[in-house]
Structure 1
Amino acid sequence: MLKTAILQSNYIPWKGYFDLINSVDEFILYDEMQYTKNDWRNRNKIKTPNGVQWLTIPVKQDSLEQKINETKVFDPKWNIKHWRTLQQNYSKAPYFKFYKELFENLYLTNSTSYLSQINLLFITAICNELGIKTKITSSEQYSYGDGKTERLVNLVKATGGKEYVSGPAAKDYLNESLFEEAGIKVTWMNYAGYQEYHQLFPPFEHGVSILDLLFNEGPNASLFMKSFVELGKIHE
């Protein structure tokens, strides 16, 4: 049974985001949605000696109707600042040197000014490091009509999917009956019960960027992700 997930792109997302990607056959980035301020599209959290800190990509928002894939960066030096901050806070992490070249190149050779493209760049690179083989596409590649839930149903149908895997936040608005009518099963992700890993600067915090997990656990990162353990996808 082909599984599909649909979600807006996030900047260097937390491990749960990648567990969702790893749980499906096709993951659709739904960046034709409205850009929202103070959300995960352009920012995420890291650990520092002074507690959790936001890393935020400064973007332009010209109107409330602006879509995520229309959103552009307004500070051309954001990438230099972010990489410097990561170096300052993770240089002593066990696997920082292991990933240093990869992420330094991702940050410092980045030439796009579109938020969606920046997010995709990091998401695909991190999936590659984790061994996630899921097909990643964009909603722009499909025709899906109108209606909040109807659009999702049509996107899943377009992929040939028979099961829609959703994050728990969508329970507030998703009309499951429309999926049932289309012969599509709805499954909800459960982000509870994550195992703690070696992390700098106690106390432990689960809700930070996956970079924290990579820098601290390296190639063993998948051992601390639910989808790899539950689906038997641990790779050597």
Structure 2
Amino acid sequence: MDSLLLPTYFPSISHFAAIAQADTVTFEIEDNFQKQSNRNRTYIYSPNGIQLLNIPVKHSKDSRQKSKDIVIEPDFDWQKQHFKSLETAYRSSPFFEFFEDDIYPIFERKYTFLMDLNWEVFEIMCKCLRMKINYSTTSEYLKEVPDSIDYRALANGKKDEHKFESYTQVFADKHGFINNLSVLDLLFNEGKFAADYLRTQQLSF
């Protein structure tokens, strides 16, 4: 079955589980941008608990601006801040150093459009997870998609209430298991087992 999703920044575990369990994937690129969604944010496990990493974007007066037209705000050094946060959160995790060189280009290369960044993130994560994904993109926005499982709401971030099996996390002794963070959390803690985890988690919509 086909899964319909939105490109997001270092997608959540639920988002990548939907990708891992699909026969094919379609990405929605004709949607209107929504603030406070995973289109430009992700959540990691820091020493103080859950931490939001947000990409600053330029907002238009037009509330119906399409996601594919969203421009990243160049006046903030968000990339340096995000990578430093990842180092603080995961330097002591089992697989951070193994994947560090794969993800570092994201924080070094300059991007104009958010969509271009999210495509690059998706390709790098697929490489790290050793997943070959057959995907396409939409040519128009459809409210209903009878030929796909509509997972676009997974981009709503905190509104995504999926619960998954626990795995080892660096600061679990302080704050317990934190569910459905960025797939980076799973990758840095589980390494090559991350893809198998994603294929076996229960999704409901």
| Residue identity opposite 1:73 in structure 2 | I
- Structure 1 residues 107 and 169, CA gap change in structure 2 (3 angstroms): closer
User: Partners of 1:168 and 1:41 in 2: how far apart?
Assistant: 11
Structure-to-structure mapping, 1:131-150, within 5 angstroms:
131-139=130-138, 142=139, 144=140, 148-149=143-144
- Structure 1 residues 35 and 168, CA gap change in structure 2 (3 angstroms): closer
What count of residue pairs does the alignment treat as equivalent?
191
What's the TM-score once normalised by structure 2's chain length? 0.84
- Structure 1 residues 8 and 26, CA gap change in structure 2 (3 angstroms): same
1:87 alignment counterpart = 87
1:97 alignment counterpart = 97
Contact between 1:18 and 1:127, CA under 8 Å: does it hold in 2?
A: no
SS of 2:3's equivalent?
strand
2:193 alignment counterpart = 220
What's the CA shift string for 1:41-87, capped at 9, x where partnerless? 10011011111010000001102011100001103522222111111
| Residue identity opposite 1:125 in structure 2 | I
Asked if 1:166 is matched to 2:136, the reply is no
- Structure 1 residues 207 and 147, CA gap change in structure 2 (3 angstroms): closer
User: Partners of 1:50 and 1:209 in 2: how far apart?
Assistant: 16
SS of 2:100's equivalent?
helix
User: Partners of 2:73 and 2:142 in 1: how far apart?
Assistant: 32
Contact between 1:13 and 1:44, CA under 8 Å: does it hold in 2?
A: yes
| Residue identity opposite 1:16 in structure 2 | S
Tell me the percent identity.
Answer: 27
- Structure 1 residues 71 and 229, CA gap change in structure 2 (3 angstroms): closer
What's the TM-score once normalised by structure 1's chain length? 0.73
User: Partners of 1:147 and 1:117 in 2: how far apart?
Assistant: 22
Measure how far apart 1:128 and its partner are: 2.1
| RMSD of Structure 2 on Structure 1 (CA) | 2.3
- Structure 1 residues 92 and 5, CA gap change in structure 2 (3 angstroms): same
Contact between 1:127 and 1:133, CA under 8 Å: does it hold in 2?
A: yes
User: Partners of 2:121 and 2:42 in 1: how far apart?
Assistant: 13
- Structure 1 residues 195 and 70, CA gap change in structure 2 (3 angstroms): same
Measure how far apart 1:229 and its partner are: 7.3
User: Partners of 1:33 and 1:229 in 2: how far apart?
Assistant: 27
1:197 alignment counterpart = 167
Q: Which moved more, 1:71-80 or 1:13-22?
A: 71-80
SS of 1:74's equivalent?
coil
What's the CA shift string for 1:174-229, capped at 9, x where partnerless? xxxxxxxxxxxxxxxx944x22111011211112101111111111212422x257
Structure-to-structure mapping, 1:59-138, within 5 angstroms:
59-62=57-60, 63-75=62-74, 77-108=77-108, 110-138=109-137
Contact between 1:5 and 1:24, CA under 8 Å: does it hold in 2?
A: yes
User: Partners of 1:127 and 1:86 in 2: how far apart?
Assistant: 19
- Structure 1 residues 115 and 39, CA gap change in structure 2 (3 angstroms): same
Contact between 2:4 and 2:151, CA under 8 Å: does it hold in 1?
A: no
SS of 1:205's equivalent?
coil
Higher relative contact order (CA 8 A, sep 6+): 2
- Structure 1 residues 147 and 204, CA gap change in structure 2 (3 angstroms): closer
